Structure 1
C-alpha cells in the first residue's frame, strides 16, 4: 500500500437497527470516526464526509485520508538543570538513567543534544525528538475501537461470535466489516470481524448475494445498482417524499405531515416503494384522531387528508420491496389495518356506553403521585383553582363552566381508547363530552386543558379552556415544587419546563389580567398542609417561570439586555410584557439612552450602599445647589406626563419622556456631592435620587441597559 492520500470507506453491516435511533447512530459513527482520524493526523480539516445509515448498516466515506500521519516534533521535559547536571556541567546519574530509558539501555548510548529553557521560574532540560506519524492501519484500529464506545446506544445486546465461545456487546449483532482506502483493504478488526471488501444488499431485492466493492468511491453506486439499497439516509428520505407527493397527487389528497414518522419510515426501509391503500369508509365514524394515530403509530402508514383537513379512507404505505404485482402487498396491509380499525371502533363504541360523569369516581383508584395523592384528589385541586381563576377573569358564569370542565378533565383516562392510545387523552374527553350532550365550551376545554402540549402548539380556544389549562399546569408546578421535585439538568420527568412555558404563553398571548403572584397563591392554598410551599418555594417558582419566559422572549428577537431590564422588575402581570419590551427597545435607540442607563446604574449603586431606608419625601428648601434644583424641577415637569403615559399603557411614550433628564442628571453628578458630611443634606439628596430612580424604572430597570 502506497503512502498516497486517498478516500476511505468504513462500513459496519449489522442486523436490523432500532429505527428511532438509526439516524443518530449513523451520524455519530461518521462524526466520531472522522474526529478520531483527525486527532491522529490522518485526516485534515478540509476533508469531505458522507454518512450512510440504512436499517442494516452504518458507514462513512471520508475524502483525502493519509496512509500515514506526518511526523511530529516533540519536546519532552526531563528534569531541572540543577538535578540533571553537576557543578562541572556533566550529566548526573539521574539524567543518564532518564536518557537510557528514552534511547536505549546500552551503557555506551551517547548523550543526545539537550535544550535548556525556563519552565516557569526554574531552568530545565528538554529533549527534542521527532515522533513518527501513526500508520492508517494503527490509527484506524484505534479510531474504530474509540468510535464504538462513543456511540449513543441506549441498550446493548450480548451475542456469541462464530467460534461459539466468545461473546461481545453491541446494539445489534454485527456480520460484516468493510475498510477500504482507495482500492486497498485496511486490515482492522472489531466485534470479532476482520475487514474486507464484501458487503450485502437488500435481503430480497439484491441482484447478487454478495457485493464485492471495487473501491471506497463506488460504495453508494454499487449498493444501489447491485444491492437495491439506498444507503444514504437523506437521499432515501427525499426519495420517500418524492414518491409520497407523486402518489398523493394522483388521488388529489394530501399526506399527513409528520417529520418523526418520515424519519422512522426512512429507517425501516432500504428500497422504498410507496403504494396506495384503502379502508372501509364506515370506519370514518370513529374520531379521525384515533384513526390517524392507529395508522401512524401502529402501522407506519401516511393517512391522506382532503383539502379541508378531513381524513379520507385512503392511505399510503412505504413498502421495502418492489414486486411487479403490488396487489398482494397492498391487500396484506389493508387486511392488517382493518383489524386495527375494528379494535378502535370497538373501544369507541364501548366507551360511549358510559358517561364521563360516571367515570369521575373511578379516579380515586388511580394514583397520581405517592406524595400528592390520587387523580381524584388532583382533579379536586384543579377544580378549585380553575373556579377561582374563572371567577377572577369572568365572574360566576365562567367560574361554573371552568369548574365543570375541570371536574371532567381527567375522566377519559379511564376509557379504553385512552388506555390503548395515551396520546389521545383530552381529545377523547372532548368527543365523549359531546356525545354526552355537554356544551362545546365544556367539551373543547376538556381537550384544550393539555395545551400547549409542545413548543409552538396552539393555545386553548376559549376562556373556559384557558382557566382549566392554567389550573392544570399550576397545580403540577406548585405541587412538584412543594415536594421538592424541581428539574435538574436535562431531567424533567413531570414536564415542569413545558408547564411553565404554557402558563407564560397563556398570560402573555391572551393578555389575561391576573397576576402571577395571585394564581400561584390560589394554587398553593388548595393543597392545604399536604405540601411545604412557603415564601421560599414561591420565590423559587417565580424564578423558574421567569427563566423559561426569558428564553422564550429571546426567540422573539429581544436582546438579553432588554429582557433583563424588564425581568429585573419581577413583573407580576405578564399581559403587557411585549409592550414593555418594545418600549425598552425603542428607548435603547434614543441618543440619550446610554447616558441615562449609566446614570441609573450609578444611582442604584449609591442607594444600595445606604444603611436603613431612604425617605421618599424631598424638602425643597434643602435643595441648595443649582444642579439639584434643576433636576428636581425637570423631574416635576416630567413625572405627570410619564405617569399618565404609563397608566394608559403607552410604555414607549413613558420612557421617551425621560430623555429630557439626560442633561440635568449629568449636571447633577458633575456638581453635587451626594454623600456630603451634612446628614440632613445627604438624606434629602438620596430622596431626590430615589425619586429619580423610581421614575426612570417604572417600565423597566434601564440600568441593565448600561454597557
Structure 2
C-alpha cells in the first residue's frame, strides 16, 4: 500500500482572530488523530497545521491509500447459550452469526475462551482496512464537528451545490472551498456542501493568480506563498512579524524597542495573510498623557505596536502590521496616523477632565455604584476594605502604617468613577496612582493605590511598599470572604469572581513578603468587617475558606517542584505563618534523605493510628509506671531530644529540629519490639499511650512525618 503525504484545506471567510490559532490547532489535531486511529497514518506522522484569516488546513505525512487489514475478535455468547447439549448451534447463535455476515459453516471455527466464570464463544475474522476516501471523510467530519467554535453562523449554500437537498449549514464562517490531496491525487470527500478539489484562493489583492492550483500536497505552502501571496502557517507569519518588527525598530536607531505583547502578536498574526510592517508617528503633545493610556489605546483599539526608549518610556513612534505591500506605503502610513489621532485625543481629553476633580471628591459617589446585589455598593465595600486594612496594619504594629493604609483604602476605588477608567477598565488602579500624585497625596499613597490590585495574574509583581501590600491583602480578603459568605464559590473550571487568583495573591504576599501574620486571624478579622448576615457562621466559613487557600497553596508548591509527599507533610499541620512553609519544606526534604527517615515515618504513622483509637487516654507520663527497659530508655532519651528539637524549632531552624529526631530511631524500634501498648493493666496502657502522645507531638512539630511513609 502506497503512502503519500496528505493535504486538507478548508477555505472560508475571515475567521475570528482571537480564536484562529486554537481553531487551526484543533482542526489539524483532530483530523490527524482520526487518521491515526483508523490506521491510515502512522503514530509518528508529522502533523503541520495551517491557519490564516481565510483558511484552516493540515499536512500529514505518510498517509496510506488504504489501511492494513486487521484481525477482529468478537464475543458472541456463553457456550451454554450458543451450543445445545448435542453440540449443535442454537437459533440464537445462528442469528448472531448472520448479523455478522456468517452462516452455520462458521460454527466449527468459533474459538472457545474463558470469560469470567463461564466459557464463551468468540468469532475471529479479518476486517478489511478502511479506504482513504472513507477514512478521510470520517476524519474531516470529526474535525469540523469538534472545532472549538466561539459562535456558530447559519448560512445558505450557494446555488448549484453538488449536494442536493441541503439548504443551509452551520459553521464559524461561510465556507467556499475544500482541498484534499493525497500526493497529487484529489481525494473525493465533501464538507459543508463543498466537494474537494485541488484549487484555493490566495491574497484578496496581491495574489499572482486566482484560483491558486495546488499540484501536490507537499507544494501547498510554497505554492500559496508564491502564487497566492499568503503565508499559510500561523507560526511562519508570527515569526515573520516578529522579525519585521525588530528590523523596523533597528532602522530607527538604538534608542527604540518594540513592546511585543504576546496576545497582540497572536491577534495580529490572525488578521494578516502576508505581513508588512510600517513605521508611523503621532504628535509629541500626546506624550503628556500617562503612557499606559496611550499604549492601551494603540494596542487594544488599533492593534499597533508601541515603541519605547531604552528606559521604557513611550516614544511618539509606533509600528503597524499591514496586510498589503504597496510600492508607495505613504497612503497606508498616513491613514493609520490619521486613525490613531482621535483615539489619543480622547485619552488626553479624559485625562485633563479627570484631573479637574480630586479623588477625595469622588468618595461619596462610590455609594451610588452597585458592587454586588448581596454585598452592597462600592462605598460599603470600601468601608470593609478600610476596616480590614486598619486591622492588618495594627497587627503589623505600625501606627503610621495604619493611617497610610486607611487613606489608601479609602481612595483606592475612586478612579472607577473617572472617565479614563470608564473608557479603559484595564487602567483601574493605575490611573488612581496618577491622580493621587496630582492631588498631592504623596508617593507612598499613590503607589499603594496603583498596586492594590496586584498581583493581577500568575507571575505578576507584588505591591512595592508596605501600604500597598496591606491594602492589596485587605482588598483580596474582602472579596474572598464576601463571595464565600454568600455562597459564590468556584466550581470546576468556572471561577467568575477570580477567587482562585485572589487566594494565590494572598498566599504570595504572605510568603514572599514574609509577613508575621497568621492566616486564621487574618480571615477572622476580615469576617468581622462584614454584617451579621455574611459572618453569621464565621467558624464554618473560616474553615471552608482556609481549606480553599491551602488547596491553592498546595497546587502552587507542587508547580514549584516540591513533591506531593513533602507538600502534604507540611500542609497537614495547617501552618499559620505561610512565610515559614518554604523552610519547613526544605527541612522535610533534608529529613527524608536521612537513613533513619523511613523507619521513623513508618513508626509515626503507626503511633498516629494507635492514638486515633485511644482518644482521651494517656494525659501525662508517670515515670514510676515505666516497667519495661525499652519504654524507660525511650522516656529517658525523649526528654533531652524534645528539648533540643523544640529549641531549634523556636529559633526557626526547622532542619535541625527534624534531624535531631533521627536519634530516636533505635529507641522507638526497641519500644515497639519489646513493649505491649494495649496492656491489660489500664494504668500501664494509659501511661504508654501518654508516652506515645508525647513522642508524636515532638515528631510532628515541623510537619506530619507520617505522610512520608510509603
TM range (shorter): over 0.9
- Residue 46 of structure 2 corresponds to which residue in structure 1? 48
Distance 1:214 1:656, change over 3 A: same
**Secondary structure class of the residue paired with 2:398:** helix
What are the within-5 Å matches in structure 2 for residues 175-190 of structure 1? 175-190=176-191
Q: In the alignment, is residue 602 of structure 1 matched against residue 606 of structure 2?
A: yes
**Secondary structure class of the residue paired with 2:273:** coil
Distance 1:695 1:90, change over 3 A: closer
What are the within-5 Å matches in structure 2 for residues 97-116 of structure 1? 97-103=95-101, 113-116=109-112
More displaced stretch, 463-472 vs 632-641? 632-641
Q: CA deviation at 1:327?
A: 1.2
What are the within-5 Å matches in structure 2 for residues 447-596 of structure 1? 447-531=450-534, 532-596=536-600
Q: In the alignment, is residue 118 of structure 1 matched against residue 114 of structure 2?
A: yes
- Residue 198 of structure 2 corresponds to which residue in structure 1? 197
Distance 1:658 1:109, change over 3 A: closer
Counterparts of 1:512 and 1:41 in 2: how far apart (Å)?
A: 59
- Residue 661 of structure 1 corresponds to which residue in structure 2? 664
Q: How many residues align?
A: 702
Q: In the alignment, is residue 266 of structure 1 matched against residue 269 of structure 2?
A: yes
Listed one character per residue, the Cα deviations across residues 510-559 of structure 1 (whole Å, up to 9, x for unaligned) are 11111111110111011121314422221111110001011111233221
Counterparts of 1:94 and 1:426 in 2: how far apart (Å)?
A: 76
Counterparts of 1:101 and 1:491 in 2: how far apart (Å)?
A: 47
Q: CA deviation at 1:594?
A: 1.5
Listed one character per residue, the Cα deviations across residues 243-292 of structure 1 (whole Å, up to 9, x for unaligned) are 11111112221111311111111111110111111111111110011011
- Residue 169 of structure 1 corresponds to which residue in structure 2? 170
Q: CA deviation at 1:111?
A: 6.2
What are the within-5 Å matches in structure 2 for residues 427-438 of structure 1? 427-438=430-441
Counterparts of 1:622 and 1:76 in 2: how far apart (Å)?
A: 72
**Secondary structure class of the residue paired with 1:103:** coil
Counterparts of 1:671 and 1:652 in 2: how far apart (Å)?
A: 31
More displaced stretch, 30-39 vs 636-645? 636-645
Q: In the alignment, is residue 702 of structure 1 matched against residue 705 of structure 2?
A: yes
Counterparts of 1:376 and 1:292 in 2: how far apart (Å)?
A: 31
Alignment partner of 1:376 out of 373, 376, 379: 379
More displaced stretch, 89-98 vs 41-50? 89-98
Distance 1:111 1:597, change over 3 A: closer
Distance 1:432 1:622, change over 3 A: same
Does the CA contact (< 8 Å) of 2:76 and 2:122 recur in 1? yes
**Secondary structure class of the residue paired with 1:450:** coil
Show structure 1 runs of 5+ residues with no match.
none
Counterparts of 1:52 and 1:33 in 2: how far apart (Å)?
A: 13
Listed one character per residue, the Cα deviations across residues 138-190 of structure 1 (whole Å, up to 9, x for unaligned) are 11111111111101012101111113971111011111100001111111111
Counterparts of 1:267 and 1:349 in 2: how far apart (Å)?
A: 36
**Secondary structure class of the residue paired with 2:343:** helix
What are the within-5 Å matches in structure 2 for residues 224-239 of structure 1? 224-239=225-240
**Secondary structure class of the residue paired with 2:517:** coil
Does the CA contact (< 8 Å) of 2:8 and 2:179 recur in 1? yes
**Secondary structure class of the residue paired with 1:79:** strand
Counterparts of 1:577 and 1:147 in 2: how far apart (Å)?
A: 47
Counterparts of 1:373 and 1:688 in 2: how far apart (Å)?
A: 55
Q: CA deviation at 1:104?
A: 7.2
- Residue 340 of structure 1 corresponds to which residue in structure 2? 343
Q: CA deviation at 1:73?
A: 2.0
Alignment partner of 2:2 out of 4, 8, 19: 4
Q: CA deviation at 1:95?
A: 3.3
Does the CA contact (< 8 Å) of 1:296 and 1:302 recur in 2? yes
Counterparts of 2:459 and 2:478 in 1: how far apart (Å)?
A: 22
**Secondary structure class of the residue paired with 2:392:** helix
**Secondary structure class of the residue paired with 1:313:** strand
Listed one character per residue, the Cα deviations across residues 357-379 of structure 1 (whole Å, up to 9, x for unaligned) are 11111111211111111111111
Listed one character per residue, the Cα deviations across residues 604-626 of structure 1 (whole Å, up to 9, x for unaligned) are 111111043530x2111111111
Does the CA contact (< 8 Å) of 2:617 and 2:686 recur in 1? no
Alignment partner of 2:327 out of 315, 324, 327: 324
Distance 1:98 1:519, change over 3 A: closer
Distance 1:637 1:116, change over 3 A: closer
- Residue 25 of structure 1 corresponds to which residue in structure 2? 23
Counterparts of 1:428 and 1:95 in 2: how far apart (Å)?
A: 79
Counterparts of 1:633 and 1:411 in 2: how far apart (Å)?
A: 65
Alignment partner of 1:68 out of 55, 66, 69: 66
Does the CA contact (< 8 Å) of 1:478 and 1:533 recur in 2? no
Task: Report runs of 4+ in structure 1 exceeding 6 Å deviation.
Answer: 108-112
Listed one character per residue, the Cα deviations across residues 315-361 of structure 1 (whole Å, up to 9, x for unaligned) are 11111111111111111111111111001001111111111111111
Distance 1:394 1:444, change over 3 A: farther
Listed one character per residue, the Cα deviations across residues 390-443 of structure 1 (whole Å, up to 9, x for unaligned) are 111143221111111111111111111111111000000101111111111111
Q: CA deviation at 1:121?
A: 2.8
More displaced stretch, 443-452 vs 602-611? 602-611
Q: In the alignment, is residue 149 of structure 1 matched against residue 152 of structure 2?
A: no
- Residue 296 of structure 1 corresponds to which residue in structure 2? 299
Q: Could you state the TM-score of these two structures normalised by the residue count of structure 1?
A: 0.97
Distance 1:80 1:706, change over 3 A: closer
Q: CA deviation at 1:122?
A: 2.8
Q: CA deviation at 1:113?
A: 3.3
Q: CA deviation at 1:124?
A: 3.1
Counterparts of 1:547 and 1:263 in 2: how far apart (Å)?
A: 33
Counterparts of 2:381 and 2:626 in 1: how far apart (Å)?
A: 61
Does the CA contact (< 8 Å) of 1:481 and 1:533 recur in 2? no
- Residue 311 of structure 2 corresponds to which residue in structure 1? 308
Q: CA deviation at 1:109?
A: 7.9
**Secondary structure class of the residue paired with 1:529:** coil
Q: In the alignment, is residue 158 of structure 1 matched against residue 154 of structure 2?
A: yes
More displaced stretch, 129-138 vs 158-167? 158-167
Q: CA deviation at 1:576?
A: 1.4
Distance 1:192 1:112, change over 3 A: farther
Does the CA contact (< 8 Å) of 1:356 and 1:433 recur in 2? yes
Distance 1:622 1:233, change over 3 A: same
More displaced stretch, 418-427 vs 140-149? 140-149
Counterparts of 1:257 and 1:677 in 2: how far apart (Å)?
A: 77
Show structure 2 runs of 5+ residues with no match.
161-165
- Residue 219 of structure 1 corresponds to which residue in structure 2? 220
Q: In the alignment, is residue 421 of structure 1 matched against residue 417 of structure 2?
A: no
Counterparts of 1:246 and 1:82 in 2: how far apart (Å)?
A: 80
Does the CA contact (< 8 Å) of 1:103 and 1:109 recur in 2? no
Counterparts of 1:688 and 1:124 in 2: how far apart (Å)?
A: 61
Counterparts of 1:635 and 1:76 in 2: how far apart (Å)?
A: 67
Q: CA deviation at 1:110?
A: 8.0
Counterparts of 1:256 and 1:91 in 2: how far apart (Å)?
A: 78
Counterparts of 1:465 and 1:84 in 2: how far apart (Å)?
A: 79
